[in-house]
Amino acid sequence: MLKITNIEVYYGNIYALKSISLEVDQGNIVTVLGANGAGKSTLLKAISGLIFPVRGGIEFMQERINGISPHRIVRMGISHVPEGRELFPDLTVLENLMMGAYIKKKIKKIADDLDVIYGYFPILRERKSQIASSLSGGEQQMLAIGRGLMSNPRLLLLDEPSLGLAPRVVEGIYRIIRSINGEGTTILLVEQNAKVALTIANYGYVFENGKVTVVGKSGELLQNEHVKKAYLGR
């Protein structure tokens, strides 16, 4: 579904991604692991169009998407839930979700999708008239994911959904991510918390200093000595 070939990406003046190749098959959950600054977020930004690679290609559903602006990439079916959530702080929960549906025209469809999101995250229905910045960390993350789903993406990019959240909350969110995948959405998941990411991913990449160092099915990664030492704390 998503095929990245030898992209080189600069983040400001920093040479962040030094020839990365990566593939995501339809229906999978693929995770990208690595320490801070390894380039994981830059990867997602390159896919969603916030940054353009200087070299290499990104293909989505066999169409070349590098160099296309973000607001058009959304319309192609890729939704990016950024690091730090990037909500609209002074808008209500409902308004944030409505913004997620910006590209959709039919009000009825939007209403139906809202129900689905509320199904995943009932707390959002409760808080729908509350200002986004007044929500707790976990609730904000749920809102961010819910907002990302409102555009009915085929591919969902999640950047560090576990960041700053308590383990119980993380568990809950990951369960929901798994069911979202179960409903047919392909997921590319960037995580620092390798342990939790590998519980739901089929496949994984490890980034170090802008390069891919380990690749494989999640089972393989869990057995990999380097991965175990560096990211799983064993």
Partner 1 sequence: MQLLIEIIQQVIFGTVTGCIYALVATCMVLIYKGTGILNFAQGEMVVFSTFISYTLRVVFLLPYWVVFPLSFVISWFFGMLLEALSFRRVIGKPHLNSLMACVAVGMILRNATGQIWTFDDLRMPPPFSDQVFTLPLGLVISPLFLGIISISFSIMIVFYLFLNRTRVGLSIRATAQNPTAAMLMGVPVSYVYSMCWAISASIGSIAGILIAPLLVLNVGMFIIILKAIVAAVLGGIESLPGAVLGGILLGILENLIGTFLPSWIRQIFVWVILLGVIIAIPQGLWGRKKQKRV
- The residue within the footprint of partner 1, chosen from 98, 169, 200, 232 (CB under 8 A), is 98
**According to the binding rule CB under 8 A, does residue 127 interact with partner 1?**
no
In our burial notation (b when 16+ CB lie closer than 10 A, e otherwise), range 62-79 reads eeebbebeeeebbeebbb
**According to the binding rule CB under 8 A, does residue 71 interact with partner 1?**
yes
SS3 state of residue 20: strand
Least separation in angstroms between residue 106's CB and partner 1 is 12
Are 227 and 221 a contacting pair, CB within 8 Å? yes
**According to the binding rule CB under 8 A, does residue 90 interact with partner 1?**
yes
Are 49 and 68 a contacting pair, CB within 8 Å? yes
> Which amino acid, 18?
K
Least separation in angstroms between residue 112's CB and partner 1 is 17
Q: Interface mask (CB under 8 A) for partner 1, residues 158-197, using x and -?
A: ----------------------------------------
**According to the binding rule CB under 8 A, does residue 147 interact with partner 1?**
yes
- In the complex, the residues that contact partner 1 under the rule CB under 8 A are 48-50, 69-72, 74-75, 79-80, 82, 86-91, 95, 98-100, 102-103, 147, 151
